[in-house]
Structure 1
Amino acid sequence: MSRTHRLFHLMQLMRRMPPPVTAAQLGAETGVSARSIHRDIDTLRELGAVIDGAAGYGYTLTEDAALPPLMFEAEEIEALVLGLREVQAVGDPDLAQAAGAALAKLGGRLPPRQAHRLKNAVLNARRFRTPPAPGVNVRILREATWDETEVIFDYTDAKGAQTQRQVRPLSIVSMDAAHCLLAWCVLRQDFRAFRLDRMGALQVTSTSFRPARIGLLRDYLEQISCDSTAETTRSHQQDAQP
């Protein structure tokens, strides 16, 4: 790891890790000695980062020179905290980590009063049931979805039947019970939702379906909305029967 890369990585670590972060912790993450970390901290301070603390006590990033000044209304801060903590609670591991890093970045660049409000926000998000772990690398699946490239994966349905599917990935959504991939199934020639914890052996193909993703997703969401409306209507009709 080059020194430039290490300095950037140190900033990321101090944004993400609970403060104060010791030189030993930072050294373990970057593979260098504590003495090298102390020198790197001095360099970051010279570059404009405001870092409290000293050798033997740990370091706290209080102002991040890499980010522009930010100003938010009180309710905007609460909304940001609620949204990011919800991602920490229900997102896949990569997204949960990214949400924590985003919160740390915000706290490092807000004015002191707003940073205090961010740290001690009234709103919070907690889930008492953790979503099942995905069976595939969600980062790769997200990239394939963004790139509008078809993917192939093994799938086990609720009855235990195993199939291989080739789909056009449209969106990844967090449901009550699990994360699901909304997709156009090439085999069924129809929209389907696949639970990520039942997927395995993900392969990204060279088959592009660009620029169809947005239109397909819009049609699928409209279909879901119509199905939900029809189900609600049937339920109300049944309740109204004598």
Structure 2
Amino acid sequence: MRKASRLFEIIQILRVARQPVTAQQIADTLEVTPRSVYRDIAALQAMRVPVEGERGVGYIMRPGFNLPPLMFSIEETEAIVLALALVSRTGDTELRQAAKRVSDKIASSVPEPLSRILSTTALHAWGIIANSPDGVDLSMIRRAVRNEEKLDIAYQDEAGSLTERRIRPIAVIYYSETANIVAWCELRQAIRNFRADRVKTCVETQDFFKHQGEALRQLWMANWQYSQTPKTNV
């Protein structure tokens, strides 16, 4: 989690807390170390965010501090509800959890009657809920896309052949039954689409392709514009 995101999350945690929250509790929620939380709290205090407390006791937010409100129209709120419902049907466990957190945050911040829309049963995302792939964590793929980090994968094609690939992931396409990883394949020296449920193993490499991701996405889109559906290829 990036520092800016952590700071925002800490503010949200402290805003809704009814009693002091310890650094360990915040660290457990954000999946970081208490040391990181101490640094983030110090950064917030330096920015004059009214966080009070100390190590070993816990932290609270003084009343009256609010982030700029997000106001949505009825149609915008319905779009958010449906989008969150669609995300909740993917096989990406981390995104499912994020969708739930977004829904909770919006419900706690918007006034009536908009908050009622978030709990309504009038809008549905229909279809199967995709299974999470066994051989790869989709959050790792999304992180590698953001960080422009190469990944080593073992991939089994439709015929059952298994190959070892080093890929440069540039996008993820979510379908109802699975997700496709779009990447530059160093074995084939071309853009390829890999079904996530056919990836048997996936390992981070600490080998990066910095400042190449956008150019590769442009290449992918240029080749895709005449095709209605990006097909899995190896």
TM-score for both structures, normalised by structure 1: 0.66
* 1:149 corresponding residue in structure 2: 149
In structure 2, relative to structure 1, the CA distance for the partners of 1:196 and 1:68 (3 Å cut) is same
Q: Tell me, yes or no, if the aligned pair for 2:144 and 2:150 is still in contact at 8 Å.
A: yes
Note the residue ranges of structure 2 that are not aligned, 5 or more in a row. Answer: 1-20, 30-57, 230-234
Taking the aligned partners of 2:109 and 2:210, their CA distance within structure 1 comes to 38
Q: What secondary structure does 1:141 align onto?
A: helix
Structure 2 CA distance for aligned equivalents of residues 166 and 7 of structure 1: 36
Once residues 200 and 172 of structure 1 are traced to their aligned partners in structure 2, the CA distance between those partners, rounded to angstroms, is: 17
Say what the alpha-carbon RMSD is for the aligned residues. Answer: 2.8
Q: Aligned pair in 2 of structure 1 residues 113, 104: CA closer, same or farther (>3 Å)?
A: same
Alignment of 1:11-160 (within 5 A): 47-48=62-63, 67-120=67-120, 122-127=122-127, 129-134=128-133, 135-160=135-160
Q: Percent identity?
A: 29
Instruction: Give the letter aligned to residue 115 of structure 2.
Output: A
Structure 1 segments of 4 or more deviating over 4 A?
A: 7-10, 46-49
Question: Runs of 5+ in structure 1 lacking a partner?
Answer: 11-39, 50-64, 230-242
Q: Tell me: CA distance 1:67–1:8, structure 2 relative to 1, closer, same or farther (3 Å).
A: farther
Cα deviation 1:170-213 (Å, max 9, x = unaligned): 11111243101001100000111001111132111232211111
* Structure holding more helix per residue: 1
Q: How far does the alpha carbon of each residue in 1:20-76 deviate from its partner, in whole angstroms, 9 at most, with x for none?
A: xxxxxxxxxxxxxxxxxxxx9xx96x8449xxxxxxxxxxxxxxx765422111100
Contact kept? 1:183, 1:193, Cα under 8 Å = yes
Q: How many residues align?
A: 182
Query: 2:156·2:162 contact (CA, 8 Å) conserved in 1?
Result: yes
Mapping of residues 170-209 of structure 1, within 5 Å: 170-209=170-209
Deviation at 1:219, TM superposition (A): 1.6
How far does residue 139 in structure 1 lie from its aligned partner after superposition? 1.6
Aligned counterparts of 2:186 and 2:210: Cα–Cα separation in 1: 15
Q: Secondary structure at the match of 2:98?
A: helix
The separation in 1 between residues aligned to 2:97 and 2:175, in whole angstroms, is 20
